[in-house]
Structure 1
Amino acid sequence: MSIETTEQNQTWDVDWQPPMPPTDLIFDDGEPLETNRHRIAMNVLIRSLKHHWAEHTDFFTGGNMFIYYSSRQAKNRDFRGPDFFVVLGVDSDPSRLGWVVWEEGGRYPDVIIELLSASTKEVDLGAKKTLYEQVFRTRDYFVFDPFDANSLQGWHLDLDQGYQPLAPNEQNLLWSHTLGLWLGTWTGVVEDDNATWLRFYDSSGLVLLPEEAERQRAETERQRAETERQKSERLAARLRELGEDPDVL
Structure 2
Amino acid sequence: MTISPSQASQQIEYPEEDGKPMAESDPTRDYLIYAVEALDIHFQNRQDVYVSGNLFIYYEQGKPECVVSPDTFVVFGVEKRKRRFYKTWEEGDKKPDFVLEITSKSTRSQDQGAKKGIYAFLGVSEYFQYDPTGDYLRPPLQGLRLREGNYFPIEVTALPDGTQMIWSEVLGLELRSLPGGELRFYNPETGELLRSHREEAQARQAAEARIAELEARLRSLEQQEES
The TM-score normalised by the length of structure 1 is 0.74
CA distance in structure 1 between the aligned counterparts of 2:45 and 2:186, rounded to whole angstroms: 18
* Structure 2: runs of 5+ lacking an equivalent: none
CA distance in structure 1 between the aligned counterparts of 2:209 and 2:6, rounded to whole angstroms: 65
The number of equivalent residue pairs is: 213
1:145 to 108, 126, 131: 131
CA distance in structure 1 between the aligned counterparts of 2:18 and 2:132, rounded to whole angstroms: 23
SS of the counterpart of 1:112?
Answer: strand
CA distance in structure 2 between the aligned counterparts of 1:129 and 1:19, rounded to whole angstroms: 33
Deviation of 1:198 (Å): 2.6
* Aligned equivalent of 1:11: none
Is the CA contact 1:139–1:178 (under 8 Å) kept in the aligned structure 2? yes
* Aligned equivalent of 2:75: 87
Superposed CA offset, 1:90-122 (max 9, x none): 11111x111100011100001111121222212
* Aligned equivalent of 1:119: 106
- Alignment partner of 1:45 is 2:35: yes
> Which residues of 2 match residues 95-174 of structure 1 at below 5 A?
96-133=83-120, 135-148=121-134, 150-158=139-147, 160=148, 162-169=150-157, 170=159, 171-174=163-166
Deviation of 1:26 (Å): 1.6
Deviation of 1:18 (Å): 8.8
* Aligned equivalent of 2:187: 202
2:176 to 181, 184, 187: 184
Superposed CA offset, 1:43-87 (max 9, x none): 11111222233333322122121111113642xx24311111111
Is the CA contact 2:97–2:126 (under 8 Å) kept in the aligned structure 1? yes
Sort the Cα spacing of 1:17 and 1:215 in 2 relative to 1 into closer, same or farther, 3 A. Answer: closer
The TM-score normalised by the length of structure 2 is 0.80
CA distance in structure 2 between the aligned counterparts of 1:143 and 1:234, rounded to whole angstroms: 54
CA distance in structure 2 between the aligned counterparts of 1:71 and 1:217, rounded to whole angstroms: 45
Superposed CA offset, 1:134-189 (max 9, x none): x211111101123227421101222x3632211122241111111111112358xx
Q: Report the residue type matching 1:139 in the other structure.
A: S
Larger Rg: 1
* Aligned equivalent of 2:205: 218
SS of the counterpart of 1:30?
Answer: coil
Is the CA contact 1:34–1:117 (under 8 Å) kept in the aligned structure 2? no
How large is the RMSD of aligned CA atoms in angstroms?
2.8
CA distance in structure 2 between the aligned counterparts of 1:202 and 1:234, rounded to whole angstroms: 40
Sort the Cα spacing of 1:101 and 1:161 in 2 relative to 1 into closer, same or farther, 3 A. Answer: closer
Sort the Cα spacing of 1:84 and 1:232 in 2 relative to 1 into closer, same or farther, 3 A. Answer: same
Give the share of equivalent positions with the same residue, in percent: 30
Superposed CA offset, 1:190-237 (max 9, x none): xxxxx8443212132321112222222222233234334445555666
CA distance in structure 1 between the aligned counterparts of 2:63 and 2:103, rounded to whole angstroms: 23
